[in-house]
Amino acid sequence: MSRQKKFILPESEIPKTWYNVMADIPEPLPPVIHPGTLQPIGPDDLAPLFPMPLIEQEVTTERFVPIPDEVLDVYAMWRPTPLIRASGLEAHLQTPAHIYYKYEGTSPSGSHKPNTAVPQAYYNKITGVKALTTETGAGQWGSALAMATNHFGLSCEVYMVKISYHQKPYRRSLMQTFGATVTPSPSSLTQAGRQMLERDPDSPGSLGVAISEAVEVAATSGGAKKYALGSVLNHVMLHQTVIGEEVIKQVEMTGEYPDVMIGCVGGGSNFSGFVFPFVRENLVNNRKTRFVAVEPMASPSLTKGRYVYDFGDTMQMTPMMKMYTLGHSFIPAPIHAGGLRYHGMSPIVCHLYDLGLIEAVAVHQTAVFEAAVTFARSEGIIPAPESAHAIRTTIDEALKCKESGEEKVIIFNLSGHGHFDMAAYDAYFSGQLHDYEYPSAAVEKALSQLPQIA
């Protein structure tokens, strides 16, 4: 086995373009529907929320989109990120598999999220926007946007899912350090929040509710504020492809090519950014890599949801997207993987799953933390609970190789560190973590409330 552990690109190799998978998918993406007219939305419908450059990126079918120099200058603070051979994990598992991970935890806020936060802040800045609103689950997106808005001189207002607000206080502190205001959601500051609190005064919150609050603030600001989203939408998936474009160059350095690529999914951003350039290689160059999306059993949109049109938020304020959904009224169990508790999924990820181009599995959180500890003890990095879902499935795939004797190449995306998630590890070590599988009956009940769109 090669003794080389890290595969690091020079700064000059930061990708100069984002890759748009919509240029290569065999069937076009289903349109986004206006909830009032039930017709496909146009740019004017999105203008109250997003600046025009992002709206153009949302609908483009160009294969490559240039990255502005101002964005590249900020990317250079942490990009390119390393591809690392997990030789310690391989030895611990006694597997013939070759395991690598792309480590996105080297960014200033500690995750992959700045890859889109920086361009979103930049495009808002150059179009005259002064303030952004957003939601966050575990706090990784809120931290990234707080960092990016601070860099470009914008104010930032974050609605953080209430259970995560209390579980992860230091992510909240990180956002405040960068100058953002952070409010636990549901809150009494918005109509959407007040309605949810009337229904359930003790609501732990959800990403769907937090989205409703942030969208309401932007939409009712008279243009003074715009909304920024850390996952789900096409332009977010586009920005994240700097990850996979770097990995393509780095696997050339290893002399190997991935048989399996694995990433966690909540809204789909880090998985998409990691695998989409390799999906292109499958579609255009007849490669045969498998792509495995890993989600929690407690929030299993791909593996238990239905592929239908649904609102992106709980209070039905957003346009309707075709996606695998658990229903917009879904309120997740308070598991510690806060970034993976969304009721739906990126429409592009859902479309690829529906076409059979990617796979999906769901895993329980105790098994996830067992894998996280194994990885920390063998590789020296404490992973975020979200990323640990990918580690769980990576270990499972590597153990299959141990049984079969196959020397497969497995790469996963380590999308963030777990430095602010130690309360979750404490809960695991003290035996306080419990597995929860979202019941199919609850899915059916929530889906019965969806709008009927052909």
- pLDDT, position 338: 63
C-alpha distances in angstroms, 5 versus 43, 102, 112, 429? Answer: 47, 12, 21, 30
User: CB under 8 Å to 249, separation ≥6 — which residues?
Assistant: 9, 13
- pLDDT, position 22: 96
- Among residues 347, 270, 367, 260, which one has the least CA distance to residue 305? 347
Residue 402 corresponds to which tokens in the numbers above? 């141990």
- pLDDT, position 306: 92
Q: Give dist(CA 392, CA 363) in Å, integer.
A: 8
The phi, psi pair for 332, rounded to 5°, reads: -75, 160
Do strands 320-325 and 181-185 pair parallel, antiparallel, or not at all (unpaired)? Answer: unpaired
Whether the model pTM is above 0.85? yes
- Among residues 93, 81, 413, 95, which one has the least CA distance to residue 260? 413
- pLDDT, position 296: 94
- pLDDT, position 1: 44
Domains of the chain, by residue range, sit at 6-13+68-110+235-447
Q: Which residues of the chain have pLDDT under 50?
A: 1
Under CATH, to which class is 6-13+68-110+235-447 assigned? alpha beta
- pLDDT, position 341: 78
